[in-house]
Amino acid sequence: MRRLKEAFPQARGIRSHSSLVSNVLVELFSEMGFDYESNVCLPYSRRLETLPLWNDMLRIPFNWEDYLHFSYGKDFSEAGLDFNNGLNIMTFHPIHIFLNTETLERYLGAKRFYQDPEHLAGYRNPGKGAETLLQKILDRKLEFTKMEDLVDEYRKGKITYE
């Protein structure tokens, strides 16, 4: 983490691989100068909130992830979120966009070929998957916000929750 923070000193937030989080890690994140962490997933939640932590960091949960979507066996024609109300924070992995992943089986079959792009391309899903869903969402011209902007708005008192 220290090498990454040195390489990207402007980074204000962190999400651990596999969303690993603990109180010890949150303390370390704070000591390293991060403003927020986003390691908690609340699948398909309709009410995400920016949450203050004990060490002046904020927790920003997310409510959608491609891996979880196909792990739940959900169809990729829709995300299962309400884009007309509230905050949604989605996580797309580059590998799932490349593969247009729609099932765990496709991902596991392709995983051993990560270092062989030509072979990996043969595992691409031609139907509905992570890439086609992402494109559908982008085509809707929704309003997007960076997490650091959520932090700034929260700290200015402009974001309140009933």
**Residue 53 domain flag:** yes
Over residues 21-69, the pLDDT tens digits come to 999 999 999 999 999 999 999 999 999 999 999 999 999 999 999 999 9
Question: Is residue 68 a part of any domain in this protein?
Answer: yes
pLDDT exceeds cutoff 60 at 162: no
Q: Are 81 and 108 in contact (CB under 8 A)?
A: no
Total domain count, the chain? 1
Residue 162 lies in a domain: no
Q: Left, alpha or beta for 8 (phi > 0: left; psi -120 to 50: alpha)?
A: beta
User: Does some domain include residue 86?
Assistant: yes
User: What is the domain-level CATH number for residue 74?
Assistant: 3.20.20.370
Residues in Cβ contact with 9 at an 8 Å cutoff, skipping those fewer than 6 apart: none
pLDDT by residue (tens digit) across 76-135? 999 999 999 889 999 999 999 999 999 999 999 999 999 999 999 999 999 999 999 999
- Is the pLDDT confidence value at 1 over 90? no
Domain assignment present for residue 161? The answer is no
Query: What is the residue range of 144's domain?
Result: 2-155
Structure confidence at residue 71 (pLDDT): 96
